[in-house]
Amino acid sequence: MSGPNDAAVLVLSDGTVYEGTAFGAPVEGAGEVVFHTGMTGYQEILTDPSYAGQIVCMTYPEIGNTGCNPDDDESRGVFLRGFVVRDHVDFPSSWRSRESLQTFLARHRVAGISGVDTRALVRRLRSAGAMNGIVAQAPFDLEALRRRAAALPSMAGLNLVDDVTCKTRYEWSEGTAWTLSAPVQGKRYRAVAYDYGIKRNILRELVNAGFDVTVVPADTPAKTVLALEPDGVFLSNGPGDPAAVTYAVPIVRELVAARIPIFGICLGHQILGLALGGTTRKLRFGHHGANQPARDEQSRRVMIASENHGFAVDAGALAEAEDVEITHVNLNDGTVEGLRHRRLPLFSVQYHPEASPGPHDTAYLFRRFRELVESTHA
């Protein structure tokens, strides 16, 4: 059986092979290969359900320096299929560390490969687009891996929400002492959060914004949610193709028709866009990083945002939707970063305003959601 320090390879669907050294669990991982440009936050990336079905390459060269600890987990587990780094550091130096990255990946049964020329890999993904791949540890058959990588299904058309959503409804009441803004005092409101792959820091920020939060599975009928008498509904982040989550769009349409305040993030933003009559499309290599420039179209202010998505709401189709306004645009490629309805109490953003470890330019949006709810009770 192979293990840490054995030979390993990353084989792309176009036949390209990147050699390296194995770490993590002695297993094989297959999925869509994407790159993340963040310098920190590798544990949050590993535990973000939005990366389900993907192999993540970190562009920052040294990964593992600060180890891992339970407080930084964003979900109940690890849903990505593989982890690619240039230099794996297995001697963490942080007072918060409870285990090394090697131990963390091994415990969660995730394959890692280090020693990869990540600059060359990113250049290939940027020029050819995100593509499927397999991380395998020795012994391996390269030709067999090439055939299998080429046969992997495209992310387009995949519903991965069913793999990550909670199975039963639950309550969330934990805020955090290091909230991005001071906890709201006064009346508390009830929010129901649809779990398409929700991150824990989103739940904490909702609590800090003055909400008592009930989390429900992704396929929960609208009538069930409305029976809970929420003051607002939150649509979470999540993995895969939004158009493939076919049950979500009619559910959200019912909630929109009920005129209840709605706030969506990432996949939730895309599903809301579909419910409002828009369409979505797959991006060439997606946005995965903590340095995406999003411009507020009203104030013209540019914010640096954390993002993780491979699909986007189509601006042309959205422009034809009645009373829907594009509120934010990505300055790198012009994709839709936010929308709102001119008459109904709803808005959404493509980026992650709650992001740990940051940036925190857009954390005010949780307060905006509360203000939207307050305005409906005025």
106 and 16 in one domain? yes
Q: In whole angstroms, give the CA distance from residue 113 to residue 104.
A: 14
> 110: domain CATH number?
3.50.30.20
Place of tokens 């391996």: 140
Q: What is the pLDDT of residue 352?
A: 86
Q: Are 57 and 33 in contact (CB under 8 A)?
A: yes
Question: Which portions of the chain are predicted below pLDDT 50?
Answer: 1
Does residue 195 fall inside a structural domain? yes
Q: Which residue in 225, 228, 150 sits closest to 195, CA to CA?
A: 225
Q: Whats the size of the chain, residue-wise?
A: 378
- What is the model's pLDDT at position 178? 55
Residue finishing a domain among 151, 184, 201: 151
CATH number of domain containing 235 = 3.40.50.880
**The pLDDT of residue 358:** 59
The answer on 293 and 227 residing in a single domain is: yes
Residue ending a domain, among 151, 177, 192, is 151
Q: Would residue 228 count as lying in a domain? A: yes
Range(s) of the domain holding residue 244: 161-376
**Where on the phi/psi map is residue 289: left (φ > 0), alpha (ψ -120 to 50), or beta?**
left
Whether 212 and 238 map to the same domain: the answer is: yes
Q: Do residues 211 and 262 share a domain? A: yes
How many folded domains does the chain comprise? 2
Q: Counting beta carbons within 10 angstroms of the beta carbon of residue 97, is it exposed (0 to 12), middle (13 to 18) or buried (19 or more)?
A: middle
Closest CA to 34 of 49, 48, 21, 53: 53
Helices and strands in the chain, H and E counts: 11, 19
Residue type, 28: E
- Residue 2: inside a domain, yes or no? no
Q: Apex CA 62: angle with CA 58 and CA 64, to 5°?
A: 90
Q: Evaluate whether residue 156 is within a structural domain.
A: no
In whole angstroms, give the CA distance from residue 122 to residue 137. 21
In angstroms, the CA 345 to CA 176 distance is: 27
pTM of the model: 0.94
Do 113 and 238 meet the contact criterion of CB atoms below 8 Å apart? no
Query: Do 115 and 140 reside in the same domain of the chain?
Result: yes
pLDDT for 356 equals 67
Tell me, yes or no, whether 347 and 239 share the same domain. yes
In sequence order, what are the beta bridge partners of 56?
A: 34, 83
Which residues are designated catalytic?
A: 266, 352, 354
- Average pLDDT taken over every residue of the chain: 93
- Note whether residue 1 is domain-resident: no
- CA-to-CA distance for 263 and 95, rounded, in angstroms? 36
**Pair 115, 237 in one domain:** no
Residue 231: alpha-carbon gap to chain centroid:
25
Query: pLDDT tens for residues 95-128?
Result: 999 999 999 999 999 999 999 999 999 999 999 9
User: According to the model, what pLDDT value does residue 1 have?
Assistant: 41
Same domain, 186 and 321: yes
**35 and 169 share one domain:** no
Pair (13, 122) in one structural domain: yes
Same domain, 203 and 310: yes
For residue 281, tell me if it sits in a domain. Answer: yes
pLDDT at position 186, please? 78
Each residue's pLDDT tens digit, 48-103: 999 999 999 999 999 999 999 999 999 999 999 999 999 999 999 999 999 999 99
- Is 165 found in the same domain as 117? no
Phi-psi category of 71—alpha, beta or left, where left has phi over 0 and alpha has psi -120 to 50? alpha
Answer yes or no: is 186 within a domain: yes
Pull the structure tokens for residue 77. Answer: 């587990």
CA angle 369, 217, 321 (to 5 degrees): 50
Among 87, 119, 151, the domain boundary falls at 151
Does some domain include residue 135? yes
pLDDT of amino acid 316 = 85
